Structure 1
Amino acid sequence: MKKWQEEGYPARLQDSLGDGVVRCRLSPRNCRIRPGQHGFCMVRANRDGQLVSLNYGRSVHATEETIETEAVFHYEPGARILSMGNIGCMLNCDYCHNWKTSQARFVADSDVFYYTPQEVVDIAVRHGIKVISWTYNDPVVWHEFVTETAALAQARGIVNLYKSAFFISEKAVEELIPVIDIFSVSIKSMDPKYYRKITKGWIEPVLAATEQVYRSGKHLEVSTLMVTDLSDGEDSARDMARFVGERLGPEVPTHFVRFHPDYKMTNTTRTPVDRLERAREIALDMGLDHVYLGNVYDTDSANTWCRRCGELQITRYGLNARRPGLTAEGTCANCGTDARIRRIPGAVPERPTTPGLPSSIRHETAGFDWQGDVRAVHIRVRNDAAETRSVYHRRLVTDGAHTDWTRIDLRGGESYRFIAAQSLPGETGVVVAVPPDCTSSLHQVFDRAHFPTTDADAGTVNADVTPLPLYVRPIR
């Protein structure tokens, strides 16, 4: 047994079937679990006749990102978020880009961090972050920790975002709705056969749960991964647009997301961008109001224009957003039309910047040059001193230019992880500077909502296409 599996936390949504057998009611699988056994997710188990969660408080490293990372374009664009991911999943998608943590049997103790609900909220407050995102592998199997922590966050005025494939029961959604403010649902395909074969789940409860959220009035955005030569055709776009337009509403932001080869599906290529652009055209022609592309740079199809006067309201490049034509109230700055962009009330803090570094800082101790489609890194910094220390990072631009340094303050003993993503076409990379009693490491991010477990200096499988570690099929 791995260390992270040793302790169980009482789980909700269970039935007792007698003779010590329990049924888990968290996902549509309704796993029937005998004493000593696990459910499909491998993180909910029967211990002495009681259902327990083995991943309560077990997490990958908490990471500061931007809200665009989660396929959310219509809620406080550009906001910094605290991304929290856990261990296990109720699906097993052949192309999963977080398989090292989503599939519990592959989880290494070294990749697991331990947090209490209060510690998660304290991290967000300490770093001036207004949104906690439950993300990466999938938050469904983290149900108890998510709901309890989200309630604490709400009490501190923090918004909760739930990024999920949403293979979940109706009762579990009922428990989420009071504490979650934003739902970003990844609908893998509209083809039932595809769902069964590729995800090992089934589509009907996903669509029902998505409709349940829509009826609740909570902020909802949906996305679908366009897998090369599998789900990137025009029919896939039409089916998705039809579902959104007829069973949700045409105002729901819809994202067509570019795929990269990973896990069991590496013998292929990234989705051709022209197929994604065509999918967007089809969805717009079918009456959807807000349709975007994901994991695509250098395209206007990630921007938002006023649906009345055509004013450019929001520009997006990669995982970054600017709001040249949007008011603080979420209306068009030109004509006053409601942009259907929800804003967080009050000021949203930004990181302080400075043109130069203190003399105590070692200059540019680590760096990364954007390469191909890898245009983001997670930067992990750790303060080994007992007192507060400041670390810095800045962007490099063509012709040797650079931005000011952004400062992040770390309390004594704190480990922190944050994303740096290319924000302009002329940007070439990022550099990090830390004092002598701090350390840093870099981790390449392959597309949004990917949590890398391997250091950048380990290289990649095939440049900018498939990240390490490489899944090795077992010999039968």
Structure 2
Amino acid sequence: MTNTTWNREPRPARLEERLDDGVVRCRLSPRNCRIRPGQHGFCMVRANRDGRLVTLNYGRSVHATEETIETEAVFHYAPGARILSMGNVGCMLNCDYCHNWKTSQARHVEDKDVHHYTPEEVVDIAVRHGIEVISWTYNDPVVWHEFVVETAALAKAAGIVNLYKSAFFISGEAIEELIPVIDIFSVSIKSLDPKYYRRITKGWLEPVLEGTEQVFRAGRHVEVSTLMVTDLSDDEKTARDMAAFVGERLSPEVPTHFVRFHPDYKMTRTVRTPVDRLERARRAALDMGLHHVYLGNVYDTESTDTRCRRCGTLQVTRYGLSADLVGLDGDGDCAGCGAPAPLTLLPGARHRPRVAEPPSDEDLDVAHFDWHGDIRALHVQVRNASDAPARVYHRRYGDPAAAPDWDVIDLAPRESFRYIAAKSTPDETGVQVAVPRRCTSSLHQVFDRAHFPTVEADAGALNEDVSPLPLFRPRAGH
């Protein structure tokens, strides 16, 4: 690992088994890492210190970011809801195409990318910004187990929903600790081929499937997804294998997502998944009997919409990471036939305040960002550098049918906040951001929903575009 300080404050870890000679076994994942004193487990964030299992990433996170629930391959729970995405450091896997390798692989983590949070601070951010879902996401929440369990319990007590977005290479014992506090499980199943799992992810398949069944049997909301890697897993066989698992071991009702891949990490000599292959995969899974099959990381397709299984009424329209409820009555049933919709809705979901124009007497810097190519989402990073509250504004432009109002983000004194702005209609051409001059800010292009751009969050000025893909440069011996 590089010379860093983020991992210098060990905390006692759960799921410890103490063995002879000061050795400990970590029972968090199927690896059951046997760790000698002074050594780390596979994830590099759980270690043996003086004969006890410790976690090195408690409260260590990438920047908390407001996004939408669609970023997590969750379509049937609170469509369009704002979520607070929390990601950490380390992973139980090492996938060759990892979209978050800069944080998932601890040896590449730099102090400048790491923020420190307490459980209370995470819940406070969600409450102050009216966010009703906390998503444990990005690299993978498995290795953040202690922090997730403790913070999710606090969030649940505050009436906040917890979402767990994971590759789910986790032990059944750890899952039992999650079930009381997690409401939604979005499980990324990389493939149904055991050889693929061993070769590409450095893990193995069956524990992932068993864990997915475990949370489904526990009555939690479950959705599953598969990254369709170009020329590797983007075929109809992958789709049929996924459909067989979902239909036979879960339920045909479980939403299933086939997600578009972009080249990254150790897999850059290839191209993005052709959309026509994704469409064929979706059709194959539907033909196998699944009820709800969607595409992810795509725009301009009806394969992201939700329709009534009985009458075909369009119930939810989606464009990229945006969703609109269009075919439901006041009780959440189908407006066409009255059948219960396969959706869980959050009553009284809170939207951000809007204004026609920012106050004319406010000293604001205003910037435009135009969507281009596959860059149709943006993380906006703002920091209130003053001791007084501040307001940030943003709006979309280019679509004459869309409301021209500005969304308002309220910042507490000295608060640093990050949020996503994503293309929401086909005619939209970009976003406008207005920031008080007493705030610092930067704009970060985002490739797809799975990627977190791990560049310096507080650096730069408004309208500074940051490449969405830090390039992996292998070192000798890696």
Q: Specify the TM-score bucket, using the shorter chain as the normaliser.
A: over 0.9
Amino acid at match of 1:423: S
Counterpart-to-counterpart distance in 2, 1:373 and 1:105: 29
Amino acid at match of 1:263: Y
Rate the CA distance shift 1:362–1:262 in 2: closer, same or farther, 3 A. farther
For 2:287, which of 285, 288, 294 is the aligned residue? 285
Residue 25 (structure 2) pairs with residue 23 (structure 1): yes
Please name the residue that 1:463 is paired with.
none
For 1:118, which of 111, 117, 120 is the aligned residue? 120
CA contact (8 A) 2:443 2:465 kept: no
Please name the residue that 1:36 is paired with.
38
Residues 93-135 of structure 1: CA deviation (Å, up to 9, x unaligned):
0000110011001111011000000110000000000000000
Counterpart-to-counterpart distance in 1, 2:287 and 2:178: 34
Counterpart-to-counterpart distance in 1, 2:375 and 2:30: 36
Please name the residue that 1:236 is paired with.
238
Query: Greater shift after overlay, 216-225 or 354-363?
Result: 354-363
Please name the residue that 2:178 is paired with.
176
Q: TM-score, normalised by structure 2?
A: 0.96
Shift of 1:399: 7.3
Shift of 1:468: 2.6
Counterpart-to-counterpart distance in 2, 1:247 and 1:133: 25
Shift of 1:402: 7.0
Counterpart-to-counterpart distance in 1, 2:362 and 2:171: 51
Counterpart-to-counterpart distance in 1, 2:365 and 2:258: 37
For 1:206, which of 191, 205, 208 is the aligned residue? 208
CA contact (8 A) 1:366 1:440 kept: no
Q: SS of the residue aligned with 1:433?
A: strand
Counterpart-to-counterpart distance in 2, 1:64 and 1:233: 33
CA contact (8 A) 2:317 2:325 kept: yes
Residue 294 (structure 2) pairs with residue 295 (structure 1): no
Shift of 1:401: 8.3
Please name the residue that 1:434 is paired with.
435
Counterpart-to-counterpart distance in 1, 2:43 and 2:402: 48
| Superposition CA RMSD, Å | 1.5
Q: SS of the residue aligned with 2:303?
A: helix
Q: SS of the residue aligned with 2:6?
A: helix
Please name the residue that 2:472 is paired with.
471
Residues 29-56 of structure 1: CA deviation (Å, up to 9, x unaligned):
0001011110000000111111111000
Q: TM-score, normalised by structure 1?
A: 0.96
Query: Greater shift after overlay, 327-336 or 87-96?
Result: 327-336
For 2:261, which of 252, 259, 262 is the aligned residue? 259
Counterpart-to-counterpart distance in 1, 2:297 and 2:402: 26
Residues 209-233 of structure 1: CA deviation (Å, up to 9, x unaligned):
0010111110000000000000001
Equivalent positions of 1:411-426 (< 5 A) are 411-426=412-427
Please name the residue that 2:315 is paired with.
313
Rate the CA distance shift 1:54–1:234 in 2: closer, same or farther, 3 A. same
Percent identity reads 72
For 1:335, which of 330, 334, 337 is the aligned residue? 337
Residues 155-177 of structure 1: CA deviation (Å, up to 9, x unaligned):
01000000000000000011100
Amino acid at match of 1:426: D
Amino acid at match of 1:304: T
CA contact (8 A) 2:443 2:466 kept: no
Counterpart-to-counterpart distance in 2, 1:410 and 1:262: 34
Shift of 1:430: 0.9
CA contact (8 A) 1:330 1:340 kept: no
Q: SS of the residue aligned with 2:213?
A: helix
Counterpart-to-counterpart distance in 1, 2:349 and 2:469: 35
Counterpart-to-counterpart distance in 2, 1:327 and 1:27: 44
Shift of 1:363: 4.8
Q: SS of the residue aligned with 1:4?
A: coil
Q: SS of the residue aligned with 1:3?
A: coil
Q: SS of the residue aligned with 2:436?
A: coil
Counterpart-to-counterpart distance in 1, 2:445 and 2:325: 27
Query: Greater shift after overlay, 326-335 or 105-114?
Result: 326-335
Please name the residue that 1:187 is paired with.
189
CA contact (8 A) 2:365 2:437 kept: no
Counterpart-to-counterpart distance in 2, 1:404 and 1:180: 35
Please name the residue that 2:405 is paired with.
404
Counterpart-to-counterpart distance in 1, 2:330 and 2:118: 34
Query: Greater shift after overlay, 286-295 or 328-337?
Result: 328-337
Q: SS of the residue aligned with 1:333?
A: coil
Please name the residue that 1:80 is paired with.
82
Residue segments in structure 2 that go unaligned for 5+ positions in a row: 457-462
Q: SS of the residue aligned with 1:243?
A: helix
Counterpart-to-counterpart distance in 2, 1:132 and 1:219: 15
Residue segments in structure 1 that go unaligned for 5+ positions in a row: 461-466
